[in-house]
Chains A and B, each alone.
Chain A
Amino acid sequence: MRANVWSGRNTVQVENVPDPKILNERDAIVKITSTAICGSDLHLYDGYIPTMKKGDILGHEFMGEVVETGKGVSNLKEGDRVVVPFPIACGNCWACRHELFSVCENSNPNSGLAEKMFGHSTCGIFGYSHLTGGYAGGQAEYARVPFADVGPIKVEDDLTDEQVLFLSDIFPTGYMGAEFCEITGGECIAVFGAGPVGQFAIASAVMLGAERVIAIDHVDYRLEMARNKAGATDTINFDEDPDVVEQLKVLTGGRGPDAVIDAVGMESVSGHAPLQAIERVKQASRQETDRGAALRDAILACRPGGIVSVIGVYGGLMDKFPMGALMNKGLSIKTGQCHVHRYMKPLYEHVKQGHIDPSFVVTHRLDLGEAPNGFETFKHKQDECVKVVLKP
C-alpha cells in the first residue's frame, strides 16, 4: 500500500510499504478514505519530538471503511464506515474506566521512554513517534486499529468525510479546551492560535454560549476564518502589535478574559522578535523543549480567578514559566491530550443536528501522493492553508 512516511527532519515521502495485518484479536483493519495533516504532526516534521525512525508512517486523524476485524471485535463488521480517535485506549484500565482515555495505562508499550521525555506517558497514539508506542499512522491506504472494540465510532448517515473526519482529533480537542473554560453563558474567552485546533476551540466556545471570543494569531487569513466561520467576535494580530496582554486588557475593561485557551503549544511564536530569536535558539540547541510565548501571555492576560486551558501540545520543559502570576491571580490550569473517545458521540450528534459543519476548516484536499507538498504548504502557511485533508 502507499503511505506517507517520515524520512528525516523536514522530510516526508510517499512510499510503498507492506499492508497492515491483524496482530491481536481486538484489532481491525480500516481502508482509509480520508486522513488529515495535524498541527501536531509538524512537531514530528520539525524534529522536536524524538524517537521518530525513517519509514514510520505518519498520521493520527483518519477515517475509512472496516475491511477486517479480529475475533474480539464484535461491535464492528466489514463495510462499516468509521472515524478512528487518535488516542489508542484499552477501555479496561483505571484511566479508561474514568473516561481519561488519553492516559490509558495499557496502550503505550514505550511508556517508560515517554515518561523520561514528557514527564508522564500518554496513551498510545497513531503515527506519533516511538514515544507513544510506535504505531503506524493513518496517512496511508490502510491502518491497523488496535482496541477497535473501544475506539472507532460508526458513521451511519450521509454526512461527508470532511464533516466527521475531525471527530478523530481536532474538533474534540478544541471542544475540550472550550469545555475546560466552564462556560455558562456570557463569558469572554481568548483563544491563542487560529490554526485548526484554535478554530474549533473558538467555534466550541461559541457553541457553548460565550458572549465574546477573541482570536489571537499573526496570520491574517486565519484570523479572517476565525471571524467569518468559527464565530470570533474580535481578533488580535500580534505582528501588528506584539503586546497581546495589553490588548486583551484593553478589550476587557482592564481585567482580562474570563478564560484563555492556548491552542498553540511548543512551537509558539512571539511578536517580540528578539524574544522569539532567543527561544528559537534555545529550542534548536535543546536548552528547552517548549517555546512558551503563548502560554506565558495566556497566564499574564487571564483575569484573576480565571481559567487557563492548555490544549496545544507541549513535550517537556519550558523556561520562564510565570508561576508568580499564576499563583497570585488564583488561576486554574486545565490541560491534557484530548480524551477523544469521551467526546466523539456527543459531538457527532451536534454535527448531525447541523449545529456545526466541521468541514469549514478544510482549505486543501489533496491526493495522498501530494502529502510532502501538503506538509510544506501547511507548515509555511502558504496558499491560505488552514487544514489539509489527504485522499488515499
Chain B
Amino acid sequence: MTENSTAGWPRPIDSILHGATDYTAGVTLTTVFPRLANIDGTSAARQIRIAGAIHAGYSTLTDYPLGVVKAIPYKAHLALDAIGALALAATPFVTGQFRRGRDQWVPHVALCAFELASLALSDPTGKGDYKADVEAVRRANMEDPARKVHERGLAVTPGAAATNGGAATAAVS
C-alpha cells in the first residue's frame, strides 16, 4: 500500500499540483500578499516576502516535475515546507513584534496553517491519490505483463488491410 492510503485521510495533491501551489504561493507572498494583508512597509511584510522567496527558491531546486535543478528529494522538500511554516509562525513571537498588534503575527500563523494543511493533503510519494495494492494485482493477474510488453514479434501483418482493398472496402464490406 502507498503511504497516502495509510494516512487515514485522502491525500490527493500529487507532486505537480504541489509544485504549482509552491510557485503560486511564492509569487503571491513576494508581491501582492503584504499589500492585501495591509502590512506593507512593516517588518512583518519583509519576513513574509523573504519566506516566499525562499519557498520559490528551493522549489526550483526540488526533484519534482516542476523543479528546474532536481537536487532536493521531494520528501526533503516537504520537510522544508513544514520547518519553514513553523519557523514563519514563530518569527513574530521570537522577535517580539507580536506586541505591536494582530497584523504583525496573524498573517504568519495563517500562512503556517495553510502550509500545514497543504502538506497534510500532499502525497509524500508524489503519486497523488494512487491507492492500489500492486502486489495484490500481481498475485491476481492471469497475464504476464513483461512478456506482453517486452517479447518481440508483431501482432499485426503489415499491409494486410491494404491488400484487401484498402480502407474504404475494409470499412463497409
Contacts and interface: CB of A to CB of B under 8 A. Distances in A.
Interface in B105-136: 127, 129-134, 136
Given A206-B158, A209-B161, A228-B152, A366 B141 contact: yes
Given A99-B172, A209-B158, A356-B156, A277 B167 contact: no
Contacts of B101: none
A319 B146 CA distance: 38
B171 interface: yes
Contacts, number: 175
A246 interface: no
A383 to B, nearest CB: 6
Given A182-B167, A370-B137, A225 B160 contact: no
A229 B155 contact: yes
Size band of the interface chain A makes with B: 35 or more
30 contacts: A10-B12, A183-B166, A184-B162, A203-B155, A204-B161, A207-B157, A207-B161, A208-B162, A209-B161, A228-B152, A229-B153, A229-B154, A229-B155, A273-B66, A278-B20, A281-B17, A355-B160, A356-B156, A356-B157, A356-B160, A360-B148, A364-B137, A365-B141, A377-B132, A380-B132, A382-B132, A384-B145, A386-B145, A386-B148, A386-B149
A224 B66 CA distance: 26
Contact of B173 (A178, A278, A345, A386): A345
B140 interface: yes
Interface string B73-105: 000000000000000000000000000000000
Contacts of A358: 155
B143 A364 contact: yes
A221 interface: yes
A358 B157 CA distance: 12
A377 B131 CA distance: 9
Interface stretch (A48-56, A109-117, A294-302, A346-354): A346-354
A93 interface: no
Contact of A363 (B148, B161, B167, B173): B148
Given A357-B155, A363-B148, A184 B137 contact: no
Contact of B143 (A346, A365, A373): A365
Given A204-B161, A377-B134, A367 B145 contact: no
A67 interface: no
A386 to B, nearest CB: 7
Contacts of A370: 136-137, 140
B146 A230 contact: no
Given A178-B167, A185-B159, A353-B160, 16 more contacts: A183-B167, A209-B158, A228-B150, A229-B153, A230-B156, A273-B65, A277-B16, A278-B20, A346-B173, A350-B164, A364-B137, A364-B145, A373-B136, A373-B137, A376-B131, A384-B148
